[in-house]
């Protein structure tokens, strides 16, 4: 089974959306999880996927009030599968419920998420990760596929992750968060919210499909230095095997995130 995840960067131009779809269809994936979909692109994406005989669900269709989905809440999710699936209710406890979408396909629980970036959302990111972890733990006995843009971790170290509740300083790791959030969240809580998704992955009956610590899915230029982050992930059941795990970096004009695929055996 081939799984694809991609943050589409809220692109709405017909030409760009069509090029995104061309890449998606060329992958011939069995499960497609798309993040940072906006209302202006959702119809085109869903229509094309349905025309290609995918079963498709978007999180906008499950939201109780579309009027609030503006500004920081304008982003939604799409899940498309070759086999029929049943959409599950959004997680109402989330700050932005439309940022987590789950469907049941046969005996697989498939979840797509776009974790709000902490730099602009602060505690919303922490709460999102805490509630997502509790949701996955509740379903730990299920065969789960979890995909999306986690905006974490800051870095993969040889034996652990460096979270955004930490900083590297003088070759040491210290507990520290963005100063503008220090009055509403401790570094320890921020660290734990990110860390448990990765360090406790086996407790969730999951495994991270990509084990290459040098791989990345998002990058930016900081004063001539290219900073790379691996924010986009595919988690698969612990008793499955990940093969042919790839990030595609040649599509920067279509999104600021690289699409990611894995073949699950």
Which residue in 59, 13, 14 sits closest to 37, CA to CA?
59
CA 12/CA 17 separation, integer angstroms: 6
CA 242/CA 261 separation, integer angstroms: 10
Its CATH architecture, for the domain 2-264, is: 4-Layer Sandwich (3.60)
Q: Kindly give the pairing relationship between strand 55-58 and strand 166-169.
A: unpaired
The answer to whether the beta carbons of residues 92 and 100 sit under 8 Å apart is no
CA 158/CA 21 separation, integer angstroms: 36
Residues 6+ positions from 250 with CB-CB distance below 8 Å: none
Tell whether pTM > 0.85.
yes
For the beta sheet containing 242-247, the strands, ordered from the edge strand earlier in sequence to the opposite edge, are 55-58, 76-81, 31-37, 2-7, 260-264, 242-247
DSSP string, the chain: -EEEEEE-TT---HHHHHHHHHHHHHHT-SEEEEEEE-HHHHHHHHHHHHHTT-EEEEGGGG-S-GGG--GGG--EEEEEESS--EEPPP-TTSSSGGGEEEEEETTEEEEEEEPPPHHHHTHHHHHHHHHHHHHHHHTTTSEEEEEEE----SEE-SSSEE-TTEEEETTEEEE---GGGTTT--HHHHHHHHHHHHHTGGGGTEEES---TT--SEEEEETTEEEEE--EEEEEETTS-EEEEEE--S-TTT-SB--EEEEE-
Q: Kindly give the pairing relationship between strand 76-81 and strand 225-229.
A: unpaired
Please report the pLDDT score of residue 159 as a whole number: 83
Kindly give the confidence (pLDDT) of every residue in the chain, 265 residues in length, as a single tens digit, with 9 standing for 90 and above.
999 999 999 999 999 999 999 999 999 999 999 999 999 999 999 999 999 999 999 999 999 999 999 999 999 999 999 999 999 999 999 999 999 999 999 999 999 999 999 999 999 999 999 999 999 999 999 999 999 999 999 999 988 899 999 999 998 999 999 999 999 999 999 999 999 999 999 999 999 999 999 999 999 998 889 999 999 999 999 999 999 999 999 999 999 999 999 999 9
Encode pLDDT of 101-153 as tens digits.
Answer: 999 999 999 999 999 999 999 999 999 999 999 999 999 999 999 999 999 99
Q: How many residues does the chain have?
A: 265
CA 99/CA 199 separation, integer angstroms: 22
């Amino acid at each position: 089974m081939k799984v694809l995840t991609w943050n589409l960067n809220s692109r709405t131009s017909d030409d760009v959306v069509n090029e995104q779809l061309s890449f998606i269809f060329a992958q011939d994936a069995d499960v497609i999880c798309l993040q940072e979909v906006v209302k202006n692109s959702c119809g085109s994406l869903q229509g094309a996927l349905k025309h290609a005989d995918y079963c498709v669900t978007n999180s906008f269709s499950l939201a109780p009030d579309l009027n609030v989905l503006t500004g920081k809440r304008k982003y939604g999710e799409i899940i498309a599968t070759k086999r029929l699936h049943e959409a599950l209710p959004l997680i109402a406890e989330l700050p932005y419920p439309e940022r987590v979408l789950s469907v049941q396909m046969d005996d697989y629980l498939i979840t797509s998420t776009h974790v709000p970036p902490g730099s602009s959302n602060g505690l919303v990111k922490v709460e999102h990760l805490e509630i997502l972890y509790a949701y996955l733990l509740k379903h730990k006995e299920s065969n789960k596929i979890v995909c999306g843009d986690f905006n974490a971790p800051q870095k993969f170290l040889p034996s652990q992750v460096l979270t955004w509740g930490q900083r590297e300083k003088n070759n040491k790791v210290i507990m520290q968060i963005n100063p503008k959030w220090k009055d509403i969240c401790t570094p320890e809580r921020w660290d734990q919210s990110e860390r448990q998704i990765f360090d406790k992955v086996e407790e969730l009956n999951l495994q991270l499909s990509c084990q290459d610590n040098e791989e990345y899915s998002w990058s930016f230029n900081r004063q001539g230095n290219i900073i790379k982050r691996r924010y986009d992930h595919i988690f698969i059941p612990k008793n499955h095997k990940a093969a042919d795990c790839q990030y595609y970096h040649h599509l920067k004009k279509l999104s600021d995130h690289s699409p990611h695929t894995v073949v699950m055996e």
